[in-house]
Chains A and B, each alone.
Chain A
Amino acid sequence: MKLILSTRVVLLAAILGGLVATAEARIMIQNKGSDTLVNVAQAWAEAYQKIRPDVAVAVTGGGSGTGIAAMINGTVDLANSSRSMKDKELHEARKNGISPIEHLVGYDALAIFVHKDNPMQSITMQQLAEIYGDEGKLTKWSQLGLTVPGCKWDQIIVVSRQNNSGTYLYFQEAILGERRDFRLGTKDMHGSKDVVDLVEKTPCAIGYSGLAYDSPHVKRPPVARNDQTAPVEANMENAVSRLYPIARPLFMYTKGEPVGEVKAYLEWIKSDAGQCIIHDKGYAPMRPVKCVKR
């Protein structure tokens, strides 16, 4: 999937490059990083092309770490990241004489998905930790007081992501914390959509994925921070207001204060026009914006 995507991105970059080559001036902005952000980044680049035909934004995925590393090495102007830079990365950047600047561009909410026949009303973060965590106590649906139709064996099938995806790392950070690992034996899917697809077909399953990957064929129970607080529906408004507990900020990084065309591009991304694009792609904008429904 990623391969196909990046091929498409490269092709697109080539086509855009060809278009721009015919224009008089040709300004290239290199943009690389998080796979979570790659679809949005591409949509931004395409829309920006219409406003500023003399500027071409080349978008590639590869993961937050890859993008940040490329920014540190000076090969890209903008790094997309679904997490803050790690201390190690900041240290490396300073060693190269770069002081990266973080720009918030929106939020990604991780929704919990169960089969549509699952009677679950809500789930707490502690329960999620016991389902997903190493030596966690919850392995059967009956322990949550649920009888899931179609799940005769009562066993919770835990669906997760491959261990270096940004979504996996964020879920670990938000639910399990740094000191706890995932349990062994989770089904590690290779894409955000694969998680939802598997949960849709498997009555016993529970999974997590970006809100953007929501589908009418699965159920999305509200999540509570703990037993005392009320469960919060996973949706755009609650992600923007930070009420929903499993939402993460999405960043773009520049090496130092942005200048010139990069600065103009970032300002456009943060404007209503740019924020409506991220909203259209299923993520939460950085602030509430009014967008025309398309």
Chain B
Amino acid sequence: MEPGDATRLDARDSRWYIDKGFEIVMFLCGISAIVFVVGIFLFVFREGLGFILHDMDVGEFFFSPKWRPTSLHHPTYGILAMVAGTAAVTVLAMAICLPFSIGAAIYIAEFATGRTRETLKILIEFLAAIPSVVWGFIALSIMNPLIITLFDVPMGLGVLNSALILALMAAPIVTSIAEDAFKAVPDSYREAAEALGATRWQTIYKVVLPAARNGLLSAGLLGVGRGFGETMAVLMASGHSINLPTSVFDSFRALTATIAAELGETPVGSSHYQSLFAIGIFLFFITFIINMTADFVVRGVRKG
């Protein structure tokens, strides 16, 4: 090779710049997600920091149910009632959602074939496309009177109503992840079980379910994350009342709904405003932990 060839190859002509340009664009796209997440976290943290450093009484914040940020003589910032309400509704929603979703996933992954399977998958994905405010309307105008007449209670907005709505909202995501988990179980497991004379039910119950355990767990955790993070539908279905719920018919208030309802008219920079961001930071940590756990669990299933 002549020395001149190498120089020509190295020449920084227009193609080289186009190539380099695209490389940079792709790199920016690649890191943008991280930049946005860090940016959002920094923004939320900066807005809430003043409250955390100066006004926050940790004991009151986490263990008092009294949320009275606009009180004229003694503002209190306790989120216990909201944490309890959010947790209660998430647990109940998962208790309703998981059996149905996992059942649906078993049917789709193990039994349904051909068109039935495809139709079911599309329908379930369609469920995920319904906007949350529409779910809120369903809660207000269909579930509310239904709960009042069925259970003879004075008001149908509360834990049960929200849990049913959240269960329906979380169902598509839980079902598709659970289905993926079943698909990830190698066919050789099923063949081995059948070779040993196991029935279809025994195969699923004794072989496929245990093998897909991690995937199912992460599906459940993502459902929990959905429950904790959902705002609009819960705002409309909960009754929005600061209350430690003692029965499934009690009204409650969700953490997210509090931020949504109060941030708009709160003076920027006030303690109330900053305390709402402090709730945001708390929510951020909770969903972060839930998603991280789900992610680690999924990694576990891929390796196993």
Q: Which residues of chain A have a CB within 8 Å of any CB of chain B?
A: 2, 35, 62-63, 65-66, 69, 151-153, 155, 157, 162-165, 168-169, 172, 178-179, 181-182, 184-190, 201-205
- Interfacial chain B residues near A2, Cβ < 8 Å: 264
Q: Are A164 and B70 in contact (CB under 8 A)?
A: yes
Closest B residue, CB atoms, query A152: B152
* B69 touches A (CB below 8 Å): yes
Q: Are B242 and A185 in contact (CB under 8 A)?
A: yes
- Interfacial chain A residues near B153, Cβ < 8 Å: 153
Q: Which residues of chain B have a CB within 8 Å of any CB of chain A?
A: 65-74, 81, 144-145, 152-155, 157, 235, 239-243, 251, 253, 261-262, 264-267, 272
Q: Are B155 and A157 in contact (CB under 8 A)?
A: yes
The one of B68, B74, B155, B243 in contact with A163, judged by C-beta atoms closer than 8 angstroms, is: B68
- Interfacial chain A residues near B69, Cβ < 8 Å: 163
* Cα–Cα distance between A169 and B71 once the two chains are bound (Å): 9
- Other A-B pairs, 14, CB within 8 Å; known A164-B70, A202-B155: A35-B265, A69-B267, A152-B154, A162-B240, A164-B265, A178-B73, A181-B74, A184-B81, A184-B243, A186-B242, A187-B155, A187-B251, A188-B242, A188-B261
CB distance from B152 to the nearest CB of A (A): 7
Q: Are B71 and A181 in contact (CB under 8 A)?
A: yes
Q: Are B73 and A187 in contact (CB under 8 A)?
A: no
* Cα–Cα distance between A69 and B239 once the two chains are bound (Å): 32
- Interfacial chain B residues near A181, Cβ < 8 Å: 68, 71, 74
- Interfacial chain A residues near B241, Cβ < 8 Å: 185-188
* Cα–Cα distance between A186 and B67 once the two chains are bound (Å): 12
Classify the interface of chain A: helix, strand, loop or mixed: loop
- Interfacial chain A residues near B152, Cβ < 8 Å: 152
* Cα–Cα distance between A190 and B140 once the two chains are bound (Å): 14
The one of A65, A187, A202 in contact with B240, judged by C-beta atoms closer than 8 angstroms, is: A187
- Interfacial chain A residues near B157, Cβ < 8 Å: 187
* Cα–Cα distance between A169 and B70 once the two chains are bound (Å): 9
CB distance from B261 to the nearest CB of A (A): 5
CB distance from A172 to the nearest CB of B (A): 7
Closest A residue, CB atoms, query B235: A190
Q: Are B265 and A66 in contact (CB under 8 A)?
A: yes
- Interfacial chain B residues near A190, Cβ < 8 Å: 235, 240, 261
The one of B65, B155, B261 in contact with A162, judged by C-beta atoms closer than 8 angstroms, is: B261
Closest B residue, CB atoms, query A183: B242
The one of A151, A168, A182, A184 in contact with B65, judged by C-beta atoms closer than 8 angstroms, is: A184
The one of B144, B239, B262 in contact with A164, judged by C-beta atoms closer than 8 angstroms, is: B262
* Cα–Cα distance between A181 and B71 once the two chains are bound (Å): 6
CB distance from A217 to the nearest CB of B (A): 15
CB distance from B237 to the nearest CB of A (A): 12
- Interfacial chain B residues near A185, Cβ < 8 Å: 241-243, 251
Q: A188-B240, A188-B261 are in contact. Are A201 and B145 (CB under 8 A)?
A: yes
Closest B residue, CB atoms, query A35: B265
* Cα–Cα distance between A188 and B67 once the two chains are bound (Å): 12
- Interfacial chain B residues near A164, Cβ < 8 Å: 70, 262, 265-266, 272
* Cα–Cα distance between A35 and B265 once the two chains are bound (Å): 10
Q: Are A203 and B73 in contact (CB under 8 A)?
A: no
Q: Are B272 and A204 in contact (CB under 8 A)?
A: no
Q: Are B73 and A179 in contact (CB under 8 A)?
A: yes
- Interfacial chain A residues near B267, Cβ < 8 Å: 65-66, 69
Give the 5 A-B residue pairs with the shortest CB-CB distance, closest first: A63-B265, A164-B265, A204-B154, A185-B243, A163-B70
CB distance from B262 to the nearest CB of A (A): 6
The one of A165, A184, A204, A205 in contact with B265, judged by C-beta atoms closer than 8 angstroms, is: A165
CB distance from B280 to the nearest CB of A (A): 17
* Cα–Cα distance between A187 and B155 once the two chains are bound (Å): 11
Closest A residue, CB atoms, query B153: A153
* Cα–Cα distance between A184 and B78 once the two chains are bound (Å): 12
Listed A/B pairs (6) with beta-carbon separation below 8 Å: A35-B265, A69-B267, A162-B262, A179-B72, A182-B68, A184-B66
CB distance from B263 to the nearest CB of A (A): 9
Closest A residue, CB atoms, query B145: A201
- Interfacial chain A residues near B253, Cβ < 8 Å: 188
- Interfacial chain B residues near A69, Cβ < 8 Å: 267
* Cα–Cα distance between A81 and B240 once the two chains are bound (Å): 26
CB distance from B35 to the nearest CB of A (A): 27
Closest B residue, CB atoms, query A153: B154
Q: Are A178 and B154 in contact (CB under 8 A)?
A: no
- Interfacial chain B residues near A189, Cβ < 8 Å: 240
Closest A residue, CB atoms, query B78: A184
CB distance from A34 to the nearest CB of B (A): 10
Closest B residue, CB atoms, query A186: B241
Q: Are B242 and A184 in contact (CB under 8 A)?
A: yes
- Interfacial chain B residues near A65, Cβ < 8 Å: 265, 267
